[in-house]
Amino acid sequence: MLKRVYVWEFPVRLTHWINVLSIASLSITGYYIGNPFIHAVSTDQYIMGWMRFIHFVAAYLFAVSFLIRIYWSLAGNKYASWRVFNPFSAGKFKGLIEITKFYLFLKKEPPKAVGHTACATYMYLGLFILFIAEILTGFALYSQSHVGFFWKLMGGWMLSLFSAQTLRLYHHLVMWLIIAFSIAHVYMGWLLDRAERSGVMSSIFSGYKTVEEE
């Protein structure tokens, strides 16, 4: 017997898509800022200015989205809870091995999971660390032109530990790691959807997955 389960609540879906749009915007504009690939042909054009503006707006959206997701890990349902991302919870490592066998085509069927798989637990935990690093290094670089306690708190303190160029390098490297995760994320979601037939891919739009009733 199959049943529909409301897995991903609206705040989870909202922050997911804000992250998608923000990361795409930040990656394109960030790459341009570091390596301009469109050149102005007249003094009326403001290409770099617009790229920086879009980058900063997307950065604010991304940071706010991340904070909302942290809050919802405390206020949301069991599928959104911070407990899901505990890598030391019972059976988590065993589940990681089983789902990894599936992704490596060593096993035909994935282990049953209504919410996040064990693999997703470890990957998202690593992704959250990358998000924090990207936000801190980004605001650290931004604080060079913004003085005040708030900007110091948001990341400006990192300039006392690293040079601006080093932070810029880390900021750039983390961008590529997040892009690599995004590609793997889409591939694994699609593969899992094909195997489970539970609506993994569509669930991030509707919030619902179809699972076997226990």
For residue 134, give the H/E element and its range. Answer: helix 118-142
pLDDT score for 148:
86
pLDDT tens string 38-55: 887 887 788 999 999 999
Counting Cα atoms < 13 Å in the Cβ hemisphere of 43 gives: 0
Are 32 and 51 a contacting pair, CB within 8 Å?
Answer: yes
When comparing pLDDT for 212 and 209, which is higher? 209
Q: Note if the pTM is more than 0.95.
A: no
pLDDT above 70 (res 30):
yes
For the ranges 40-54, 120-134, 200-214, the maximum mean pLDDT occurs at 120-134
pLDDT above 90 (res 169):
yes
- DSSP label of 157: G
